Structure 1
Amino acid sequence: MSKLVLLRHGESMWNKLNLFTGWVDVPLSDRGIEEALRAGELLKDYRFDVIFTSELIRAIQTAMLVMSRNRSGVPKVIHEDGKMKEWGVVYGEHGKNYVPVYKSWHLNERYYGKLQGWNKDHARKVYGEEQVHLWRRSYDVAPPDGESLKDTAERTVPYFRERVIPELEKGKNVLVSAHGNSLRSIVMHIEGLTKEEVLRLNIPTGVPLVYEYENGALRRIGYLRKNGFDDDLHIGR
């Protein structure tokens, strides 16, 4: 039986400022660093065999901070093309004493298009409360030049099926460090949520969501918190 841990990155500097972030590459805030380290403490006894992150620094930072508290081995980013692929090969005696980390844009946050960098309250004043709410919380309505949640799912779910599931099938334990919307789309796929249910799903920052994989199926264990597991997704709360 293998384990899958989904982890939304800690608070970013733009989360703190209430800005639409999307694909803008913004690092974690001080609070976000603390959230990632707390997640690392919760996961310190988990053995991870492989890690997947988005290409955005806040997700990569979160994964690395988690692994700074973990005993599985040293995380090593695997570059899959260019000179870094050629020159990043490990030849020394510790060549197998690391945890591979794969980065992909397929796991990036939902692309917010022309809203990126806008303060959310200012956007409501310009476009109206109802329109901004529609962009943020509808399933298939995209902001100007951006992605809807449906668009996001069309890149995250195939990647999850093609790259993550095969690792679980090999009996490996997997950590996925990504974003609110990319993870919502993956959870929608795993849990079989309706379009209405996924819109009410809010994945908290820095709280590991744990699944077990066995006989071709994923079973939710729940959110891992200091006092144990909370097995409720809290849809609609």
Structure 2
Amino acid sequence: MSKSFGIKSGILHTYKTIGFKSVCPAAKAKQLNMKTNQLVIIRHGESEWNKLNLFCGWHDADLSEQGAKDAINTSAVALRESNLKFDTAYSSALIRARQSLSIILKELNLCDLEVVSDWHLNERHYGNLTGYNKRDMADKYGEEQVQSWRRKYDVLPPPITADNPYYHSIRNNPSFKDIPPTEFPDTESLKVLMQRVIPYFENVIFKQVLGGRRVLIIAHGTVARALIKHIDKVSDENISTVNVPNSIPCVFEFNMETGEKVGKTTFLADENFLNEQIQKTASIGESNK
């Protein structure tokens, strides 16, 4: 049996033991004849820049070989064994999210599923940290400063400048051609990112969930943290303790009439594996030198 985890005040807690095939049955909801629907969010598989421990943000890094395997063996397996079905899938405009989604849908025989890729679900822009190794930056600026840039709610990394090696490839990415110039970021905190992610979620995705469509979102670590903060009402202070690992599905269930969440947030993974991946995500990691 695997264990599911709930999020409360920004901290991950074990709250019950479940099998993959009995995910979030919402027994209480059934007792009340409440109509509910589920939403699943997955952070993309490991990218080539995750592997190198680089700040990635809006740089369009491909999935690594391991990331592609994780999309199959972690994401798709958990969804299949949990018997979760989908009507629509969303991803960011970044290729690592789109590749993860494509692999997962192929594994689930859902290649004809409606798919929407939108820049509002892009990872946060890491500004001038883009392309630099996290450990090298910690050695230069101190671990406290780097973790503040990574995890604090309203701390902005330095804005990207034209001499950054990835500035022009980001600005000229064809996938971003429809972004209004006034909305194209040079740096983002979690707070700033939420100003684009949450309205899109509420006005587009969540309306579909409450309308009965079963939605899968493949996005990024900070986007998943933003949605968890919004849905679970995590405080500005406690959100720094929330880390979302690659490839592990996160399931939410909602009352379709009121929009309120039913039960606790659930990660579909074995307890030991989940904790191991969370610690990996939280770590600043090693230099690639």
TM class by shorter chain equals: 0.7 to 0.9
CA distance in structure 2 between the aligned counterparts of 1:102 and 1:121, rounded to whole angstroms: 35
1:47 CA displacement: 1.5
- Counterpart contact for 2:92–2:98, Cα < 8 Å: yes
Match for 1:217 among 243, 260, 264? Answer: 260
Q: 1:221 to 1:189 in 2, by over 3 A?
A: closer
Q: Are 1:149 and 2:163 counterparts? A: no
What amino acid is aligned across from residue 105 of structure 2 in structure 1?
M
- Per-residue CA deviations over 1:113-150 (Å, capped at 9, x if unaligned) read 11100011221233333322221122111001111110
What amino acid is aligned across from residue 47 of structure 1 in structure 2?
K
- Name the counterpart of 1:31: 66
CA distance in structure 2 between the aligned counterparts of 1:65 and 1:102, rounded to whole angstroms: 15
Task: Give aligned pairs, total.
Answer: 207
Q: Are 1:159 and 2:203 counterparts? A: no
Match for 1:5 among 26, 40, 46? Answer: 40
CA distance in structure 1 between the aligned counterparts of 2:97 and 2:87, rounded to whole angstroms: 18
Query: Please, which runs of 5 or more residues in structure 2 have no aligned partner?
Result: 1-35, 160-186, 283-289
Match for 2:212 among 151, 166, 171? Answer: 171
SS of structure 2 residue aligned to 1:207: coil
- Name the counterpart of 2:79: 43
**Alignment of structure 1 residues 131-142 onto 2, 5 Å:** 131-142=145-156
SS of structure 2 residue aligned to 1:5: strand
Query: Please, which runs of 5 or more residues in structure 1 have no aligned partner?
Result: 75-97
SS of structure 2 residue aligned to 1:176: strand
SS of structure 2 residue aligned to 1:68: helix
What amino acid is aligned across from residue 183 of structure 1 in structure 2?
A
CA distance in structure 1 between the aligned counterparts of 2:56 and 2:70, rounded to whole angstroms: 19
SS of structure 2 residue aligned to 1:165: helix
CA distance in structure 2 between the aligned counterparts of 1:69 and 1:212, rounded to whole angstroms: 24
- Name the counterpart of 1:67: 105
- Name the counterpart of 1:52: 90
**Alignment of structure 1 residues 85-124 onto 2, 5 Å:** 98-124=112-138
- Per-residue CA deviations over 1:156-201 (Å, capped at 9, x if unaligned) read 1111101111111211110000000011011100000001211100
What amino acid is aligned across from residue 115 of structure 1 in structure 2?
L
- Name the counterpart of 1:87: none
CA distance in structure 2 between the aligned counterparts of 1:28 and 1:140, rounded to whole angstroms: 29
- Name the counterpart of 1:94: none
Segments ≥4 residues shifted beyond 6 Å? none
CA distance in structure 1 between the aligned counterparts of 2:230 and 2:267, rounded to whole angstroms: 17
SS of structure 1 residue aligned to 2:213: coil
What amino acid is aligned across from residue 68 of structure 2 in structure 1?
I
SS of structure 2 residue aligned to 1:55: coil
1:36 CA displacement: 0.7
Output the TM-score relative to the length of structure 1: 0.82
Identity level (%): 40
Output the TM-score relative to the length of structure 2: 0.68
- Name the counterpart of 2:9: none
| Coordinate RMSD, CA, aligned | 1.9
1:35 CA displacement: 1.1
Q: Are 1:194 and 2:235 counterparts? A: yes
- Counterpart contact for 1:46–1:70, Cα < 8 Å: no
What amino acid is aligned across from residue 10 of structure 1 in structure 2?
G
